[in-house]
Structure 1
Amino acid sequence: MEEFHNQAEFLKVIWKHLYSSSSNKSVGTLHAARSTINAVNVTQDPHDNFYPCSEFMDMVNTAYIVTGGLHHFQMEHLTSVPTPSYKGAVGNPYETIDYFLGHAKQFVDKHV
């Protein structure tokens, strides 16, 4: 129960800083995303409607991470070949992990 309340409070902090009904037409804002996908159950106060707001926040985060990944790997769509593509040994887990962790660090440094 305590964890639920922590999540609700964190969602309220996010809403306070990133959600404004006056930003309806500002691309990239939470309210514009809400309007675009017609998420009418997402309200100005996430405390009153925790589950829809939490699911909406998960969708927005996923969309930004996927979009950032596409940009990072210079891909036009999800089925494009990433650039640079992995050229290491497929059977060597350490080389694969190093490659992906290196790109994860670059992604975080650039996009976060």
Structure 2
Amino acid sequence: MTRYLVVVAAMLALPGPMCAAELNDYPTATRAEYVFGCMKANGETRQSIAQCSCSIDVVASIVPFDRYITAETALSLAQVRGNLSAQFRTSEQATSAINDVRRAQAEAEVRCF
């Protein structure tokens, strides 16, 4: 019994693979915006809340928050007409970030819907 307690104590003393802050680096407001948009696209039902919440969790586990913000900003600015938005539509960095988020969303679709 004593050996068991020593093993458990040793396991508890070991650091985990990641702390909670690293696992949840997307702010609540960003997660909520994603879920609201997802629900609008998939029906505003109790089931869609669960599926859309799952979806942002999957996206957040695949794409770092700063990369997600880059993609979100690029998509938003690409909708604006004019010279400024052309830079975002043709930027390799923006296109790459958008593609990363879209791949993560495709994975979320498979896992959650």
Higher relative contact order, chain-length normalized (CA < 8 Å, sep 6+): 2
Higher Cα Rg: structure 1 or 2?
2
TM-score, length-scaled by structure 2:
0.33
TM-score, length-scaled by structure 1:
0.33
Q: Which structure carries more helix by proportion? A: 2
